[in-house]
Amino acid sequence: MRGSDLLKTTPAGLYCAAGNFHIDPLRPVKRALITHGHSDHARAGHDSVLATHETLAIMAARCGAEFAGTTQTAAYGERISIDGLTVSFHPAGHVLGSAQICIESKGLRVVISGDYKTMRDPTCAPFELVPCDVFISEATFGLPVFRHPDAAHEIARLIDSCRLFPERAHLVGAYSLGKAQRIMALVREAGWERPIYIHGTMEKLTRLYESEGIDLGEIVRVTGPERPKLGGEIVICPPSALQELWSRRFHEPVPAFASGWMRVRARARQRGVELPLVISDHADWDELCETVLATGCSELWVTHGEEDALVHWATGQGLAARPLHLIGYGEEEVEDLEPEKPAGEAGPALI
Amino acid sequence: MNRLAELLDRLSFEPSRNNKLRLMTDYFRSTPDPERGYALAALTGALAFQHAKPGLIRALISERVDPTLFYMSYDYVGDLSETVALLWPEPAKDEAGVGHNRPPLALSEVVTTLATSGKLHLPSILARWLDQLDEIGRWALLKLITGSLRVGVSARLAKTAVGDLGGKEPNEIEEVWHGLAPPYIDLFAWVEGREARPEATDPAPFRPPMLAHPIEEPDLAALNPEDFSAEWKWDGIRMQVVAGHDANGKRVLRMFSRTGEENTHAFPDLAEALAHLPAQDFAIDGELLILREGRVQPFSVLQQRLNRKTVSAKHLADFPAYVRAYDLLSLNGEDLRPLAFRDRRKRLEAFVAAANEPRLDLSPLVHFKTWEELAAARADPASAGAEADAAAVEGVMLKRVDSIYVPGRPKGPWYKWKRDPFNVDAVMMYAQRGHGKRSSFYSDYTFGVWRDGESGDELVPVGKAYSGITDEELARLDRYVRNHTINRFGPVREVEYNSDKGLVLEIAFEGINWSSRHKSGIALRFPRINRIRWDKPPKDADRIGVLEALLKEREPA
């Protein structure tokens, strides 16, 4: 038995014929196993979905309770039989409820990482190393220039800037699922006791995190008239809101963006970011390399991201490595920003 | 080095001048000597390192990183120093002494070590430093030593930030600046009120120039023409020429730009000529111009002589530099600045006559009795005395005859009454989001004029404008762009434009040059939006011939 007997790539994504299921399928399928709740991995319309309790809750919050025909909860570590295969979900450390999916068949063990990180994150279960024969990894930050610093250091820079510019609101662009709540938790750990303000589109998922027992302190949804008065405060919003009409009502705001992409200056400049915060929910280059080696795998498949460099490195390490060229992942930044029309501004062009 | 690196990092992303000032002042306040002094030297361009070349940095990284991974990374990042800063492998803890007793790397150590080490030892020294720093620190170090620090801070702005530590005006800093050297311990001590003002020991110091306020015709009615003297406003660059003697009696001649940057080396022909004037010590305020056969050349000619690291003999011959004097600030040890303009002018006329140096002449006065007479001269300088030099006149200067010479831009004594700008009706083609306060607005507009294309009339871009409009107009233009977008390229949007649909902008500009860098072959100086022609159909916008005719008219004969 080889990995390629168990899994193949199809237009809908990774497919396991023996179990007749897809993993993170890009289009509606009969049976879907979902690693985590980001919209590029978790889509609505499947007949049945198997995922962690948190991922199912996130999908319901984003797509409505009717997002799938039937759902089944997978507890971390629980061994589930599907048509003679054994499937288990293990924490991926990416966002709340994120999982790696392990498939075992006739002594062969394949782990699909989904998106993951091994760095500490107070808002989700830590990454669990699952030894395997075939490791299927993401490579969003698969270049050696990407090494994420300690997130606490980046948060200290944010707080320092709030002190230096007490009249300017600090708008932190962050993905609504995961990054936003991680920033909130890190800001609390740094001793920030004032309310943290959020863009309206973040409220639902933030409340969901709180209902899962994650303490984020006082979180306040920003209302229109308040915006000019939030000097020196931290306001978290979807990245696209930084350049949209919404940001205009703040007094001379500092546009910040929390993302691994901020490591590269040109990326930050292109987006008009003035305070780039290098905080990522994806493994950086060192984490990718360490994790691949630690799994003890003999074969590495790379799903999406900067796969060429990681494949080049892994080949040099004596692994059989190949890119899968899956298209459609890694777009978690294209988010569902609810159009908001302030009075007197006819703006149809909200992205 | 870490604190400085964070400052440089933040400055490189901060668009606002005032916020840059605050970042720098905060740094100077919270950083001890001599570190902050070397930082000031770095920001004002006073540090130069001979041997750190990109080739050396490339060699260092190639010893440490797989060449394929380096190539992929460099290709992705696009900047060598930044790529190396990010790629540099973290050393094992005990190798670099990180986390041990060694103090963090200081800029002062970098400066003093590089000043005393030879080229041979540089690679190992640099590698040791890079081992000690984090990504931002490595980026800052590499940018600093290769002299490509670009964080959008002028020397003047850095000095202003130092002045802000103790309520000193930037001109007060300029007055003492040229007698000081890094790490400027005495400067900080004085600004912070701990010690007396540093002695200006410079034999040929820069004197901060006096600047004029703009004035428009209606404002003149409130002024009495008898109180003022007028001269042409020359379209060159402001230049201060200072001569003195050092402690050994050796003659020193220096030339400074308006902001106090020394540029003597760029004009050796002029420096040579002026070093032999009969007067011993002097300071002239004037305009740097290129003259050919006694005629002042337009700014576009002068531009070809500027911004060159080395000046070839051919350049010296083709672009001979002259200074046209309009003020005398000191002469043989006497500070003339407290004198009235009319008295300084007499001293200047005598000085220029005595000098008898072809490279130095006098900016002539424009005689007038009434504002109408001056308006006529301004409208037609050629008939009012400027003759063949008229193309290099960009208006008139008005100076109160009783005004003393005050650094900075005092309100009242000096005015500049610029020539009316040129206008062209152009069509908006692209719009780009602005920075800072304007980052959510499409505020930078590329505009074009009509020309004959292969399949009929087409628009060719001739410039970009982002000023001249009120906040309300900006909001309306932003809405227009969002509602008429036909294409998006990152932060740039292409708007609808054809002969029937599109927006005409009346663009005002100060001058026009031929340009090989622009598709149209034309570059406008200081273009800004004069009016938004919501009413005008795009087909009635101007054609490129209008601009070409203007250029030919201004071509030196």
Q: Residue A79 sits in which domain range? A: 3-145+281-323
At position A245, the amino acid (one-letter code) is L
Partners of B442 in the β-ladder:
B433
Q: In this structure, are A46 and A141 located in the same domain?
A: yes
Average pLDDT, chain A: 90
Q: Residue B443 sits in which domain range? A: 422-554
Give CA–CA dist B361/B84, Å, rounded. 52
* pLDDT value, residue B421: 87
User: A70-74, B28-32, B257-261, B488-492: lowest mean pLDDT where?
Assistant: B488-492
Is A237 inside a domain boundary?
yes
For residues B387 and A76, the model is more confident at: A76
Q: Is A152 on the interface with B (CB under 8 A)?
A: no
Confidence of residue A342 (pLDDT cuts 50, 70, 90): very low
Residue in chain B nearest A246 by alpha carbon:
B440
CA distance A341 to chain B (A): 13
* pLDDT value, residue B149: 82
Nearest residue to B253 (alpha-carbon basis) of B287, B289, B202: B202
- Structural domains in chain B (count): 3
Q: What is the DSSP string of B508-544?
A: EESEEEE-SSSTTSEEEES-EEEEEETTS-GGGSPBH
Q: In this structure, are A7 and A114 located in the same domain?
A: yes
CB distance A264–B22 less than 8 Å? no
Q: What is the DSSP string of B301-346?
A: HHHTTSS-SS--HHHHHHS-EEEEEEEEEEETTEE-TTS-HHHHHH
CATH number reported for the structural domain that contains residue A308 in this entry: 3.60.15.10
Residue B227 makes CB contacts below 8 A (sequence gap 6+) with B400, B401, B402
CA distance B171 to chain A (A): 26
**Which of B22, B86, B164, B479 would you mutate first to test chain A, the one with the most A CBs within 10 A?**
B86
Q: In this structure, are A139 and A28 located in the same domain?
A: yes
Q: What is the DSSP string of A273-320?
A: -SEEE---SS--HHHHHHHHHHTT-SEEEEEEESHHHHHHHHHHTT-E
* pLDDT value, residue A329: 74
Residue B309 makes CB contacts below 8 A (sequence gap 6+) with none
Q: In this structure, are B291 and B311 located in the same domain?
A: yes
Q: In this structure, are A7 and A141 located in the same domain?
A: yes
C-alpha radius of gyration, chain A, whole number: 21
Mean pLDDT of the region A159-180: 95
ipTM beyond cut 0.95: no
At position B163, the amino acid (one-letter code) is G
Mean pLDDT of the region A73-85: 96
Q: In this structure, are A264 and A298 located in the same domain?
A: no
Give the tens place of pLDDT for each residue, B259-316: 888 888 889 999 999 988 888 899 999 999 999 988 998 887 888 888 676 788 888 8
Q: In this structure, are A305 and A228 located in the same domain?
A: no
Task: Extract the tokens encoding B537.
Answer: 């159909």
Q: In this structure, are A87 and A15 located in the same domain?
A: yes
Give CA–CA dist A123/A183, Å, rounded. 9
Q: Which residues from chain B sit within 8 angstroms of residue A309, using beta carbons?
A: 68-69, 72-73
Q: In this structure, are A167 and A180 located in the same domain?
A: yes
* pLDDT value, residue A123: 97
Task: Extract the tokens encoding B444.
Answer: 């930078």
Is A40 inside a domain boundary?
yes
For residues B146 and A23, the model is more confident at: A23
Give the tens place of pLDDT for each residue, B483-532: 899 988 877 899 999 888 999 999 999 888 888 777 888 889 889 999 99
Is A332 inside a domain boundary?
no
Q: In this structure, are A296 and A314 located in the same domain?
A: yes
- Is the distance from CB of B138 to CB of B85 less than 8 angstroms? yes
Give the tens place of pLDDT for each residue, B378-424: 999 988 888 888 888 989 999 999 999 998 888 899 999 998 889 99
CB distance B79–A312 less than 8 Å? no
**Which of A143, A145, A257, A337 would you mutate first to test chain B, the one with the most B CBs within 10 A?**
A145
* pLDDT value, residue B138: 95
Q: In this structure, are B232 and B127 located in the same domain?
A: no
**Which of B439, B488, B492 would you mutate first to test chain A, the one with the most A CBs within 10 A?**
B439
Q: In this structure, are B409 and B332 located in the same domain?
A: yes
Domain boundary among B398, B418, B438: B418
Is B193 inside a domain boundary?
no
Q: In this structure, are B333 and B471 located in the same domain?
A: no
Q: In this structure, are B248 and B321 located in the same domain?
A: yes
Is B455 inside a domain boundary?
yes
CATH number reported for the structural domain that contains residue A241 in this entry: 3.40.50.10890
Q: Is A343 on the interface with B (CB under 8 A)?
A: no
Query: B262: which DSSP letter?
Result: B
Is B361 inside a domain boundary?
yes
CA distance B104 to chain A (A): 17
Q: List the single residue in B72, B77, B435 with the smallest CB-CB distance to A309.
A: B72
Mean pLDDT of the region B222-239: 94
C-alpha radius of gyration, chain B, whole number: 27
Q: In this structure, are A108 and A155 located in the same domain?
A: no
Confidence of residue B554 (pLDDT cuts 50, 70, 90): low
CATH number reported for the structural domain that contains residue B225 in this entry: 3.30.470.30
pLDDT over 90, % of chain B: 60
Q: In this structure, are A305 and A272 located in the same domain?
A: no
Q: In this structure, are B278 and B264 located in the same domain?
A: yes
